Copies of this chain bind each other. A is one copy, B any other.
């Protein structure tokens, strides 16, 4: 139930509406934990039922901001420190790589080159976030420092994948193109 705790974690920074949280998931967490608004609104309702968050204010345009409760803060801390990390890595790119031998060599080279470009660009995107944080563009509050650490992971992960895609282009792989 990571979405639940992701929501609690974001609300620990301060009150926010479902709309705000959907935006934050899009920009900050979009690449590591996608979440669409239908799921977010539903989960906010459940969190409120469980007393982990409560309505902070109702503003213009029906805007309903939630605030984390002491129970909610305790719950997100319990999750962070007392639960096992789920190390599942569901990467479609890696699943595909197991079947590279089914691709015509030219298609595979093109594919790997495109992947390399994508990963380098994404690594650069995270580098820009990291540079902005290091310049102090967003202050240096604890949440900002944590995002800097997350961005570092984004950089290293995508850099590793870019280097892998480059390496794979040189790796020997006889195709099985003729066998159908």
Contact = CB atoms under 8 A, between A and B. Distances in A.
A108 to B, nearest CB: 8
A71 B149 CA distance: 47
Contacts of A94: 32-33, 150, 153-154
B176 A142 contact: yes
Q: Per DSSP, are chain A's interface residues mostly helix, strand or loop, or mixed?
A: helix
Interface in A88-137: 88-104, 107, 111, 115, 118, 122
Contacts of A174: 142, 145
A45 interface: no
A171 interface: yes
Contact of A145 (B81, B90, B101, B147): B101
Interface of A: 2, 5-6, 9, 12, 28-29, 31-34, 70, 73-74, 76-77, 80-81, 85-104, 107, 111, 115, 118, 122, 142-143, 145-150, 152-154, 156-157, 159-161, 163-164, 167-168, 171-176, 180
Given A80-B100, A100-B149, 16 more contacts: A33-B90, A34-B88, A76-B99, A77-B180, A80-B107, A85-B92, A85-B115, A85-B118, A91-B157, A97-B150, A142-B175, A142-B176, A149-B171, A152-B164, A156-B161, A160-B160
